[in-house]
Amino acid sequence: MNKMKLLPMMAYRGVKQNRLVYRPYMMACLFSVFSYYLFSSLLHNDLMERLPKAAYAWLMLNLGKGLLSVILFLFLLYAGSFLQKRRGREFGLYSILGLERKHIGIMLLWENAGMYLASVSAGILLGFVLNKLMFLLLLRMSRLDVEVAFYFSVEAVVETLRYFAFVFLCLYGRSLWGIIRMKPTELMSESRKGEKPLKRIWLWSVVGIILLVCGYLLSVTSTMDSMIFIDFFLAVFLVVLGTYFLFTSGSVAFLQCLKRNKRIYYRPSNQVTISGMLYRMKKNAAGLSNICIFSTMLLITLTCTVTMWTGMDQIAYYDYPYDMQAAYSENSDVIDTAWEKAEALSEKYGQSIERLDCYNAMELRCGRREGSNEFTSAAEVEFADQYDVTLLTLEEYNRLEGQNESLGEDEVLLYATGMPFGFDRVNFLGVEASVKGEPEQIYPYPQAKNRMFNFTSRYVIVVKDKKALDGFVSAWAEANGVTDLDGFLHSGVRHLCLLLGGKEAERDAFIEEWLEWCQGQQDFLWMINGLEGRDENRSMNGGLLFIGMVFGLLFFMCLLLIMYFKQVSEGYEDQDSFGIMQKVGMSDAEIRGTIRRQILLVFFLPLAGAFLHTAAGLVMVNGLLAALQFFDTGLLLRCCGGVAAAVTLLYAGSYLMTAKTYYRIVRQ
């Protein structure tokens, strides 16, 4: 009974005495609770359900929350293993002094219960305080102009309590299993054990290299098709597995080669450094591979976040180049009054008219196999080889682009928003023509800067006149079984498109009145509101940006904690080793130099690996961003360079802070 009363106090003293490792662990738990509660609170906010434009942001937050649950669970299990390893000697001593395993289990239960209550209380309180601020940040990133009232979600609190109860129960079960399966003497030496090295290191080194090369090749050679997301996850899996094998086996194999080289190894500074690194690599390579992987995740997450933030308007305007686009039957005379109405509204709302385009176009769906100059019926090819084809007369093209181009009887201009057409002649369902040139742009159909990754590409064929256009349309109608040819030839669409310049508030009022006027005109067919379309794009991308920001902070917290734990655990392990070195005659300066070389090489090796992984993954990242209609590779590279510089500074600062702890422990 006395033991039972002492167990809570012993649990408290155990945490207090090991505060060097428990403080950062508690900070990690607090941040984990805050992150999870934040996502849950945003998802349970009634405002998210009432905002139709926030549907994409809600979907992104749901996906982010699921991914966050998995990452937090695995990370806290990994961090808990460091604590268990550090306190193994203490538990072994308790067993020798008379405490039974059940008593140690109860003490661990008190300890985990206290950690659970402290972390969830502080994390939920922090989330409660910052909830409105984070929701405002989400709305800001999503460009949603909404008044936000104070909101507290009981459902989010219950969900957070339930999730972390499960996590801490798993942590407790793992610690309890470690106590049950080991003898007291094994527990006494547990803190000095590292990860077991793999056997057959040369075989696993080659396997690691092959896996990395396969992951890199998959990333570099990926194409923008329906398999891009599957290829992405497969490449990530191969790179993660290859990184683990290379750090656990390849690094040891490389150091063994250096050890066999007598010219390199048998020098005082090199001998101690190589021996120390070989010992450290055997024991801690798994931790270093985790640092490399989290550094890569941090680099890629921040690169995507910064790139999307700086290129958000570019993404929005690619899909919706006009503020408003109305469609009428092809013989409509709407343009006769459109200019007068637009100028009147321009004076009323203080908006400048950037473009007011009116043109006839025939929109068709065709097929085109890669490497062929022939357009076929869409039914003859797979979905991936189907494209939208727009037919314009030369008169419409010259008016749109302000050109004075001319064409012969059998000549066309052929414009592609994706990869160039690349042929001198075109066969359009049996109608052949000579391609006089490929224009650099046609405004209503923006061309991707990185045309290789534009899998939603469109073709625009500019023909000489209406007669030539009817020939192309007739060929398409015949190939697709259209019976009413005369009616189909007159089914073209007259587009009335408007782009404004000015303040957004007045622009909304302008477009609202313009919309009413357009719908009241004769022969009206349909309308696309570009302002609403861009807002929906920004809502979706804003949700992604918010998730990227939170996950970037999470990855950095994981990275910092792993580095800190490794420095602390290795500091205690190296105390005796450097004490022996001093006794055999090494000076303090030599010992410090050895420590500095070892730590620099060991801890900056993962950063070099992360840079290599990121460089190989940029091609695939470029393709994934293209799925969101972002095609500016130059901007992506500039953002990646800036993020790499910032992460390097953060990594170096983290290294310096954690290295001080290592030096302090070793000096003891």
The pLDDT of 418-435, averaged and rounded, is 90
Residue 346 and residue 395 share a domain: yes
φ and ψ at residue 51, rounded to 5 degrees: -100, 110
Of 268-277, 379-388, 568-577, highest mean pLDDT: 379-388
- Judge whether 435 and 421 are in contact, CB under 8 Å: yes
On whether both 180 and 70 belong to a single domain, the answer is yes
Same structural domain for residues 162 and 48? yes
Residue 216 lies inside a defined structural domain of this protein: yes
Highest mean pLDDT: which range of 45-49, 240-244, 256-260? 240-244
Quote the number of domains for the chain.
Answer: 3
Same domain, 335 and 377: yes
Q: Which of 158, 193, 228 is the last residue of a domain?
A: 193
The verdict on residue 625 lying in a domain is: yes
Q: Average pLDDT in the 459-476 region? A: 90
On whether both 509 and 580 belong to a single domain, the answer is no
Q: Is residue 543 part of a domain?
A: no
Q: What is the dihedral of CA 422, 424, 427, 432, to 10 degrees?
A: 160
Q: Is the pLDDT of residue 633 over 70?
A: yes
The residue from 193, 228, 259 where one domain ends is: 193
Looking at the domain assignment, is residue 198 inside a domain?
A: no
Quote the pLDDT of residue 375.
93
Kindly state whether residues 412 and 343 are assigned to the same domain: yes
The set of residues, in sequence order, having a beta carbon less than 8 Å from that of 471 and lying 6+ positions away, is 431
Cα–Cα dist 240/263, whole Å: 35
Same domain for 401 and 453, yes or no, is yes
**pLDDT: is 566 or 421 the higher one?**
421
Parallel/antiparallel/unpaired status of strands 431-437 and 493-501: unpaired
Both 247 and 141 in one domain: the answer is no
The answer, yes or no, to whether residue 586 has pLDDT greater than 80, is no
Q: Among 415-419, 487-491, 624-628, 631-635, where is mean pLDDT lowest?
A: 487-491
Q: Which residue segment(s) compose the domain that 456 sits in?
A: 320-535
Query: Do 42 and 171 fall into the same domain?
Result: yes
- Whether residues 366 and 271 share a domain: the answer is no
Q: Identify the pLDDT of residue 622.
A: 83
Predicted TM-score (pTM) above 0.85: no
C-alpha distances out from residue 662 to 178, 654, 666, Å = 27, 13, 6
C-alpha to C-alpha distance for 90 and 232, rounded to whole angstroms: 45
Dump pLDDT digits (tens) for 161-216.
Answer: 999 999 889 888 887 776 766 665 555 555 455 445 556 777 777 888 888 888 88
The Cα–Cα gap between 382 and 459 comes to 17
Residue 434, pLDDT > 90, answer yes
In a domain, residue 305? The reply is yes
Looking at the fold, whether 466 and 413 belong to one and the same domain comes out as: yes
332 is written with which tokens? 């409509």
- Say whether 365 sits in a helix, a strand or coil: strand
pLDDT in tens, 322-371: 988 998 888 888 887 888 888 888 888 888 888 888 888 888 999 988 88
For residue 137, is pLDDT > 70? no
Percent above pLDDT 90 for the chain: 8
Give Rg (Cα) of the chain: 33
Residue type, 226: S
Q: Across-strand partners of 389?
A: 364, 459
Q: Residue 11: is its pLDDT beyond 90?
A: no
541 domain-assigned: no
Band of the pLDDT at 413, cuts 50, 70, 90? very high
- Distance, CA of 349 to CA of 332 (rounded, Å): 27
Model confidence pLDDT, tens digit, residues 256-277: 776 777 666 666 666 666 666 6
In Å, how far are 339, 401, 491 from 336, measured between CA atoms? 7, 20, 21
- Tell me: do 384 and 514 sit in the same domain: yes
Tell me which of 193, 217, 235 is where a domain ends.
Answer: 193
Q: How does residue 598 score in pLDDT terms, banded at 50, 70 and 90?
A: low
Residue 651 lies in a domain: yes
Q: What is the mean pLDDT of the chain?
A: 77
Residue 246 in domain: yes
